[in-house]
Structure 1
Amino acid sequence: MTALLLVHGRSQQMAKELGRDQDAVDRYVAGKTRTWLGGLARGFVLSGAGPVPADVTYFPFYGNDLADALVAYEAAGGPRPDLEAGVDIAALHREMVIEAAEETGFLASHHMLDHDAATIDAVREVERLRRSGQEAGWSDLLQLKIARSALQFLSDKTGTAEWVIEQYLRDVAYYLADRGARDLVQGHVRRSMEQARDDGHGEIIVIAHSLGTVVAYDALDDLPEGVTVRLFVTAGSPLGQKVVRRNLRGPDVGSERRPVPRSITPVAGQPTWVNAYDVRDVVAVIHPIAHLFSGGDASIRDERTHNPLYPHAIDDYLSDPDVAGPIAQALAADR
């Protein structure tokens, strides 16, 4: 039977004071899994599907390791260039903040009027070059100033606290830029895929949330032997951001135009990829995404949701019948 692979996002680590022995970790992961499946069960009911097959679910838990790696990284000096990869994590983070704000109407030259004339002129020149289709970037100092203004704008526009926005986008930038963290996370996902295969589930449906959508896209570029993907589902995803797409693994690295993962073999008549977004979700602020990946609308189905509890909540995303329905259909195809 087809298995479900649930790939979580950031800030899922356990509190250290509660203990992290294997039994505690297993109980914690079981609780997280129930949250996802609870949302999916509601979506199945609303879409007219049967029960959720909880016994074929795999939850690669990397939350503790990623959080510990980030703490160690910052304790060693905080965000700084990764000399091996040539990527400045802090600059990548600021670029993500600016791009997200621009998507919601931010124009730096209109929101930095308290700065000196030379700064405003430099901002306007970069904006002019970008409008004409030319490559133009900000100096480090200018990018820092613009990012601060963009973060405040984005917070005011979406009603999300600035520190929340910073944390979400910082962790995505950290994953993309730090090779060690990326390999660590990918190791967890690959082992879960291999376990599913060894348990007799050669076909999987990948359901990913938030940072997990970036993690999952990377993982689909290098599947273990004997594993195929029937459906890819993303929720609350930052994959709409150009800077994220440029740093994904797989074909056309460095390009803003990336392919739908070729490792997906969809059910006939069903989408290859379902992408869910709530317009209030600051992580998925750039939406829809079908036109941003080669394969286009025929391969990716964007689904706009309204999450009643919290715009970024995974259980709310999965309770939408238009998101849960394709998952149920993909599961039913091999019965």
Structure 2
Amino acid sequence: MRLVFVHGINNEKNTIESIEKEWWGAISKSWKQIGLTPKPKPVINVAYYGKILAEATNSGNDQAIEMGPSETSTGYALQLLSEYAEAAGVTQEDIYATADRRGIPRTAVEQGVPHEGWVIAFADILEDIFPDKGKFIAKHFLNQAAAYINDKALSAKIDKTVKTQIFGSLPDPAIVIAHSLGTVVTYRLLSNEQQADRNISLFVTLGSPLSVKMFKPILPAKGKLPNPPIDKWINGRHKEDFVTLNKAITKESIGFDGVIDITDIVNPDSDKHSIVQYLGSPAISRAIYDELEF
């Protein structure tokens, strides 16, 4: 049995090696802390798309963000950002005031007029409005998630990259652990009929935005949990992790029941979206321990 790690936002400075070391370190440290007999390190495959995503969302990118549907754009970026703004209690007047102070044209906020750096500018506005929860999230998650959800070519490139790195001819069974935006990428792959012959004994999603309604249009329509390939799915979410909007992955959000919701996340860190804190939580690390076989 092998482990699969699929990272989320803000990983452009990491590498496959650093992610493997950090994630496995958090899991094995937690096992020791809760008194479990150590297990040997299994084969680990890491998906890495951080640089692809960062390059696409770099402020120096001269490509305009298309707000309406087209051959290259889904047109969902504005709605995604607005959904998070609404959840944070941000009013239109808050947006206007911050835009005026930053010298950003109101038309860029009112109509989503595509121009260089539009999504980044909007994320910066939200960062000012809710710094307690959004200082990190608005700058990275909203920016990178909006690019992934909006740019068809980008999402296809990332999906293909991840598929090659963690599936392809690699053996099963596997435990797949995904974080943040990586949960969206991974679920899109696992719910595709091309992966129906795989054996994923446990799918672990952490800090996932799969319950956010604006992701639903880019997910395959499913009326039941895709088994095969997923035998069991657990979703860990900290109630103060803004990425999840404090929503479980349910039939309403994804089309089926059966995802085990775990909110008993121990995280003393100020970053409630931290992958290290998620993997170090006993409820999560124990679930991985119980499933991992040699």
Amino acid in the other structure paired with 1:160: G
Answer with 1 or 2: which has the greater Rg.
Answer: 1
Listed as ranges, the matches of 1:1-335 within 5 Å are 2-14=1-13, 28-71=15-58, 74-81=61-68, 83-88=70-75, 92-104=76-88, 106=89, 108=91, 142=110, 151=126, 155-156=130-131, 158-161=132-135, 164-194=137-167, 197-198=169-170, 201-222=171-192, 223-224=194-195, 227-248=198-219, 250-251=220-221, 259-266=224-231, 272-290=232-250, 292-296=253-257, 298-309=258-269, 310-332=271-293, 335=294
Residues 47 and 321 of structure 1 are in contact (CA less than 8 Å); yes or no, is this contact kept in structure 2? yes
Residues 235 and 276 of structure 1 are in contact (CA less than 8 Å); yes or no, is this contact kept in structure 2? yes
For 1:217 and 1:154, the matched residues in 2 are separated by 32
Report the alpha carbon displacement of residue 178 of structure 1 after superposing the two structures with TM.
Answer: 1.5
Report the alpha carbon displacement of residue 37 of structure 1 after superposing the two structures with TM.
Answer: 0.8
User: Per-residue CA shift, 1:142-201, capped at 9, x if unaligned?
Assistant: 466xx7899368615x4432x741431121121122122112111222112336x44xx3
SS of the residue aligned with 1:278?
A: coil
SS of the residue aligned with 1:74?
A: coil
Partner of 2:104: none
RMSD: 3.4
Report the alpha carbon displacement of residue 239 of structure 1 after superposing the two structures with TM.
Answer: 1.2
Q: 1:331 to 1:242 in 2, by over 3 A?
A: same
TM-score by length of 2: 0.78
Report the alpha carbon displacement of residue 314 of structure 1 after superposing the two structures with TM.
Answer: 0.5
SS of the residue aligned with 2:10?
A: coil
Residues 238 and 246 of structure 2 are in contact (CA less than 8 Å); yes or no, is this contact kept in structure 1? no
Number of equivalenced pairs: 274
TM-score by length of 1: 0.69
For 1:285 and 1:278, the matched residues in 2 are separated by 10
SS of the residue aligned with 1:232?
A: strand
SS of the residue aligned with 1:4?
A: strand
User: Per-residue CA shift, 1:44-66, capped at 9, x if unaligned?
Assistant: 23454443543411001111223
Q: 1:95 to 1:149 in 2, by over 3 A?
A: farther
Amino acid in the other structure paired with 2:250: A
Structure 2: unaligned runs, 5 residues or longer: 98-106, 113-121
Amino acid in the other structure paired with 2:235: N
SS of the residue aligned with 1:83?
A: coil
For 1:228 and 1:318, the matched residues in 2 are separated by 22
Residues 11 and 63 of structure 1 are in contact (CA less than 8 Å); yes or no, is this contact kept in structure 2? yes
SS of the residue aligned with 2:61?
A: helix
Partner of 2:101: none
Partner of 1:136: none
Structure 1: unaligned runs, 5 residues or longer: 16-27, 115-138, 253-257, 267-271
For 2:96 and 2:151, the matched residues in 1 are separated by 35
For 1:154 and 1:231, the matched residues in 2 are separated by 38
For 1:102 and 1:31, the matched residues in 2 are separated by 35
Report the alpha carbon displacement of residue 282 of structure 1 after superposing the two structures with TM.
Answer: 1.8
Report the alpha carbon displacement of residue 213 of structure 1 after superposing the two structures with TM.
Answer: 0.7
Q: 1:160 to 1:179 in 2, by over 3 A?
A: closer
User: Per-residue CA shift, 1:85-128, capped at 9, x if unaligned?
Assistant: 5522xxx3332233224335x274896898xxxxxxxxxxxxxx
Percent of counterpart pairs with the same letter?
24
